[in-house]
Structure 1
Amino acid sequence: MKVHESIGELKRLVLLNVKDCKNLRNLPTKIGQLKLLKNFILTGCSKLVELPKEMREMESLKYFNATAINQLPSTSNGIISRLFRLRKPSESILDCLPCSLVSLNLANCNLRNLPRDLGRLSVLEDLALSGNPICSLPESIKCLTMLQFLNLRECTKLQLLPESIKCLTMLQSLHLRECTKLQLLPELPMSLKMLDINRCRSLEIITNLPNGCKLDLYAYDCETVVEVKKLFRLEPIRNIDTEMIKNLELIELESMEEVEVNLLNKLTNYHMICPIQGLYEFGIFSIYLSGNEVPAWYSSKTTTSSICFNVPSLPNNLKIRGLNVCVAYNFHGFTGFLYEYIMRTFNKTKDVKWTYYPTVTGFPNEGENMIWVSHWKLGNQFEAGDEVAVDVEFFDDLCYEYGVKELGVHIVYEQEEGEKDTQHNTYTSFPDDVFDGADSPSRGYHFIISKFCTYMSSKEVEEDDDA
């Protein structure tokens, strides 16, 4: 099949569609004379050998769609295997495409590498590279300052994104679904409104979730995510600060490295059976353990789901640094519904309230019990004589509440600055007070409103296969 040279005479042509012309092998050089052509569709032209360099003269071309243009093995001489390798020392076949492009679709083209000069397409707004075996993006992507939509879905060999992606200050949508080798997300631009990382099963660290609770986040089945910086971090027992362990008086914790618990990461909607983990989040440290009761040393305890106490007076050399809360609970097994855990601390005297929904929750096996131990680094939010209330709630998507067996609280003290004895200073690796997390962005989080502060990490992540 051929496109005749006379096509160059169609001076007013604005759309050229040769979709699924599977026997098309060449394009005529005269195609470069189509100065008004805006939309060129080559989707499915799997035998196309090369693009004429005259295409770069198509100064009005805005939309170029070459989806599945080469689904043959990379050893073939198909167009995409040539498109991004050097023809001459300083010239790549990408130069055949004009700089006027606004939308470029090269999905499912067996594309292994991108040229270093990708940034020459400086007015590009939409770039689709999904389904290609690329391993990385060039740093020059930072020059695509008009880019709004970047689709890398199912690029299963993609291992990293360049740090320069944060320079894409117009980027609104980033699709990374099923990029199964991606381990780290670098800092993303604050313009981002949609992030799809569904089934990125090697992803461990997310540097930021921009645009706060307005971000549409799809993070279903990201089973290895252990940290979203400035939001939460999961740590195995061996990495938990020893002073924090002492602070919680969990002295035997270090001997429990092999003990496994059931956890649910609600950011990713992923259920895991794993060794005991510590959760750092918004100045709150939590840990979930098998257990039937609150330890005896807690100063105030109750068998109900709420407790009220008065902050005692302190010796001159001590100051209040935080609050330990421990709750023993059970329910009738994991049914597949999303369990909601809520812990509230209310300083009635100062009229300040914190409501905490942990990102990661623990649930016992059917017929067993579990304890949730948390340490709230509250800084100077408590003073002697303050009346404080703490309560907890457990329920699932069907709004069934589950049993609180016992609830206990205990105030944590530390030495005043300048004291020689610093044994109470347990904050060397836990720097943020609860309030310090208030500006941290994440989907589903509500921040300080007047004197009411809610931290929420429990919005169910939707899976939309059409996203």
Structure 2
Amino acid sequence: MISSIDLFGCDKFATLPSSISRNKRLRVLRLGNTKLERLPSSITALENLECLDLHWCSKLIELPEGIGNLKKLVVLNLQGCGKLQGIPKGIGQITRLETLGLFVMGEDDENYAHISELENINKISRELTIHGIRHCMDPDVAHKECLKQKTNLQSLTLIFASDVGVNSESHLDGLEPPPGIENLKIVRYSGQESPQWMRMFRFRLLCEMELSDFPKLE
């Protein structure tokens, strides 16, 4: 059976057949820069899949439930998937993951993963964007180091939800970057009080920091 399929850049490719699940030996599936909007739920049966590359799938809306079943995944590249509505619950089960690129906090907490699921994925490296962060997150996140221990992470972008009230209570301590971060970008933070790490973080290796759309920055 085929172990690798590369359809990157096939700009007319819009549907992945559900029969893809028959190829149990598939290890690499590259679908980046295509017109895919969804993946068939059957893809979660590819238990040997190590690489699912979806970067720059600009029309991708959602990932299938059960994505956490793909426990051998090392690459789940979602960089540039700007229309993605959220990450399904269970992403935290993919503890081998090294490349993610994008984590979207969906508006529906019942179906989408909470940011605390990132706590168990400590091998993430290179770049990560977290989009749609709510100021009033679960207070338990304040006691978790969801990002701090990801020492292979070089670039981090935190984008806050645009419709969050400015009076929302802040429980954002779990978003403290690792001390070796080189590039940090924080967008659209309108909370009354910044998290403690934002005020006290020691930028030892930081090369570039950008604060964008901070209405209360003094």
Alignment equivalent of 1:81, drawn from 11, 14, 17: 14
Q: CA deviation at 1:121?
A: 0.9
The percent of aligned pairs where both chains have the same amino acid is 21
Q: CA deviation at 1:229?
A: 4.6
Alignment equivalent of 1:216, drawn from 150, 153, 158: 153
SS at match of 2:62: coil
8 A contact 2:77–2:100 mirrored in 1: yes
Alignment partner of 1:125 is 2:62: no
C-alpha spacing 1:134/1:197, structure 2 compared with 1 (3 Å)? same
Q: CA deviation at 1:104?
A: 0.8
Q: CA deviation at 1:275?
A: 6.5
C-alpha spacing 1:223/1:100, structure 2 compared with 1 (3 Å)? closer
User: Partners in 1 of 2:67 and 2:131 — Cα distance?
Assistant: 25
Unaligned 5+ runs, structure 1: 1-58, 73-79, 85-91, 233-265, 282-357, 361-454
Alignment partner of 1:65 is 2:9: no
RMSD after superposition: 3.4
User: Partners in 2 of 1:275 and 1:82 — Cα distance?
Assistant: 39
User: Partners in 2 of 1:155 and 1:276 — Cα distance?
Assistant: 27
Identify the residue that residue 122 of structure 2 maps to in structure 1: 191
Paired residues, number: 178
Query: What amino acid maps onto 1:156 in structure 2?
Result: G
Q: Write out aligned runs for 1:6-405 (5 A).
A: 59=1, 61-69=2-10, 71-72=11-12, 80-84=13-17, 92-95=18-21, 98-132=23-57, 133-176=59-102, 182-183=104-105, 186=115, 187-188=117-118, 189-194=120-125, 196-198=127-129, 202-204=132-134, 209-210=146-147, 212=149, 214-220=151-157, 222-224=158-160, 228-230=172-174, 268-270=184-186, 277-281=192-196, 358-360=197-199
8 A contact 2:148–2:175 mirrored in 1: no
What are the Cα deviations for residues 117-157 of structure 1, in whole angstroms up to 9, with x where unaligned?
Answer: 21211111111011222222222211111111110111111
Q: TM-score, normalised by structure 1?
A: 0.33
Unaligned 5+ runs, structure 2: 107-113, 162-169, 177-181, 210-218
Q: Whose strand fraction is larger, Structure 1's or Structure 2's?
A: 1
8 A contact 1:267–1:458 mirrored in 2: no
Q: CA deviation at 1:210?
A: 4.4
C-alpha spacing 1:129/1:269, structure 2 compared with 1 (3 Å)? closer
Q: CA deviation at 1:98?
A: 1.3
SS at match of 1:119: helix
What are the Cα deviations for residues 6-41 of structure 1, in whole angstroms up to 9, with x where unaligned?
Answer: xxxxxxxxxxxxxxxxxxxxxxxxxxxxxxxxxxxx
SS at match of 2:193: strand
Query: What amino acid maps onto 2:203 in structure 1?
Result: S
Between structure 1 and structure 2, the one with the greater Rg is: 1
Query: What amino acid maps onto 2:25 in structure 1?
Result: S
